[in-house]
Amino acid sequence: MKPYKILHIIGGGEIGGAEQHVLTLLNGIDRTRFTLHLACLTYGPFAELARKSKISTRTFPMRFSFDLSPILSIIRWARQEGINLVHTHGSRANLLGRLGARWLGVPSLTTVHSSLAHDYLSPWSARIALGLDRLTLPLTSGTITVSEYLATEVASRGGRNIETIYNGQAPILLNESLASRQQFRLQWGIPADALVLGTIGRLHPTKGQTYLIKAATHLYSTFPNLHLLLIGDGPLRGDLEYQLKQSKIPHTLTGYLPQAYEALPAMDLFALPSVSEGMGLVLLEAMQAGIPIVASSVGGIPEVVRAGIDGLLVPPGDVAGFGDACSKIIDNPNLAKSLISSGLNRWTKFSIASMVRETEQVYIRILTKTT
């Protein structure tokens, strides 16, 4: 039997959680059963990463968020390659991929990685994206969500044939923890005896770094050796830099790091203050690194971090609550050890093998229904 041909479509301008998920999936799928192609809708480093994994990859740049002009080129390429199924990731990809698949007469599948309402800086852009999603959702043969929270959200706007498949996490390769800790602290000028509160994520309103800075400002009066470490880049960088300078607390804003998890040993406490989060894959990396976690009790996070067991959860935007949770861990080494121990066991429940196997099963169910 010839392999089924799958076309993945994604924005690909940045390398965030969705891009990491797609690359992991493409590298894990059985190439004897599926031939994989990738279309990126923005020029960026992601396409080159995919090519290094020997994935047939092309870029069809969109000029703006709802630009339909690349669709004919995508359709021509898909027809040339004999695509059997279109798998989309993100609102841009959903719009072009669903319409294109209908034109080609092949099924489409969508993976929802985040809450669409929180993905845009402009409320009007979010409304348009949600409206287009509702219009095109009926064109899909199935939807995968990375958390049950997102499954409920997608169902509320008309999604059907929804299945939750959690993101899988591979073991991360960390240098010897003490050496890595010293290396990054030296690189960024962080004192060896600093108490480092850190986070990793795109500098975007949905990630809530502004609340972490406010919480750290309160903590600084109690813990004068506190140092705030923000890893990532994004549209809020200028605003957050200004807020950090105004706070007068010691801080490091690193910008984008390709392998950000390598810097986790530099932290004493990991925070994820998101106001919206599909799942929070970075939490599994923090668990592996043995860093105690404080996170928002929002989206899919409580499905990953069990409150009081694997980490402490706080309502999103609760600055005082975030500070109190951090203080509780700092002041209680036994609690920190308990959270770390539980996290080291917890992350293994989210395996790449399961994610890949379950996704392949969805492909087969859809394809056998339409052939």
Do residues 62 and 183 both lie within one domain?
Answer: no
Strand locations in 78-141, DSSP E? 85-89, 108-112
Do residues 49 and 158 both lie within one domain?
Answer: yes
Is residue 79 exposed (0-12), middle (13-18) or buried (19+ Cβ within 10 Å)? Answer: middle
Q: How many domains does the chain have?
A: 2
Burial 154-179 (b: 16+ CB within 10 A, else e): beeeebeebebbbbbbeeeebeeeee
Residue 234 backbone dihedrals phi, psi, to 5 degrees: 160, -175
Would you say 327 and 219 are in contact if contact means Cβ atoms under 8 Å apart?
Answer: yes
Give the separation between CA 61 and CA 42, rounded to whole angstroms: 5
Would you say 228 and 249 are in contact if contact means Cβ atoms under 8 Å apart?
Answer: yes
- Domain of 91 in residue numbering reads as 4-168+351-370
SS3 state of residue 4:
strand
Do residues 186 and 148 both lie within one domain?
Answer: no
The token pair that represents 61 in the structure block: 């740049």
Do residues 274 and 364 both lie within one domain?
Answer: no
Element (H, E) at 8: strand 4-10
Beta-carbon contacts of 65 under 8 Å, excluding residues fewer than 6 positions away, are 91, 92, 125, 128, 129
Residue 314 backbone dihedrals phi, psi, to 5 degrees: -135, 145
Do residues 136 and 264 both lie within one domain?
Answer: no
The token pair that represents 288 in the structure block: 């592996």
Do residues 162 and 196 both lie within one domain?
Answer: no
**Beta partners for 7?**
37, 86
Would you say 142 and 366 are in contact if contact means Cβ atoms under 8 Å apart?
Answer: yes
**pLDDT recorded at residue 65:** 78
Do residues 213 and 142 both lie within one domain?
Answer: no
The Cβ of residue 338 has, within 10 Å, a number of other Cβ atoms equal to 15
**pLDDT recorded at residue 176:** 62
Residue 64 backbone dihedrals phi, psi, to 5 degrees: -155, 175
Would you say 91 and 112 are in contact if contact means Cβ atoms under 8 Å apart?
Answer: no
Do residues 268 and 364 both lie within one domain?
Answer: no
The closest alpha carbon to 266, from 169, 197, 338, belongs to: 197
Distances from the Cα of 105 to the Cα of 44, 168, 365, angstroms: 30, 31, 17
**pLDDT recorded at residue 177:** 64
Give the separation between CA 169 and CA 59, rounded to whole angstroms: 27
SS3 state of residue 173:
coil
Do residues 355 and 345 both lie within one domain?
Answer: no
Do residues 153 and 280 both lie within one domain?
Answer: no
pLDDT string in tens for the chain (371-residue length)? 789 999 999 998 777 778 889 999 999 999 999 999 999 999 888 888 899 888 999 999 998 878 899 999 999 999 999 999 999 999 999 999 999 999 999 999 999 998 887 777 778 788 888 888 999 999 999 999 999 999 999 999 888 899 999 999 888 877 666 678 889 999 999 999 999 999 999 999 999 999 999 999 999 999 999 999 999 999 999 999 999 999 999 999 999 888 899 999 999 999 999 999 999 989 999 999 999 999 999 999 999 999 999 999 999 999 999 999 999 999 999 999 999 999 999 999 999 999 999 999 999 999 998 65
According to DSSP, the β-strands at 108-112 and 195-200 are unpaired
Do residues 157 and 183 both lie within one domain?
Answer: no
Distances from the Cα of 301 to the Cα of 31, 146, 271, 276, angstroms: 32, 11, 12, 9
**pLDDT recorded at residue 170:** 85
Predicted TM-score of the model (pTM): 0.88
**Beta partners for 36?**
6
Identity at 257, one-letter amino acid code: L
Where residue 255 sits, what CATH number does that domain have?
A: 3.40.50.2000
The C-alpha angle with vertex 92 and arms to 254 and 279, in degrees rounded to 5, equals 55
Residue 59 backbone dihedrals phi, psi, to 5 degrees: -110, 130
Do residues 219 and 84 both lie within one domain?
Answer: no
Q: What is the DSSP letter of 255?
A: B
Give the separation between CA 169 and CA 283, rounded to whole angstroms: 10
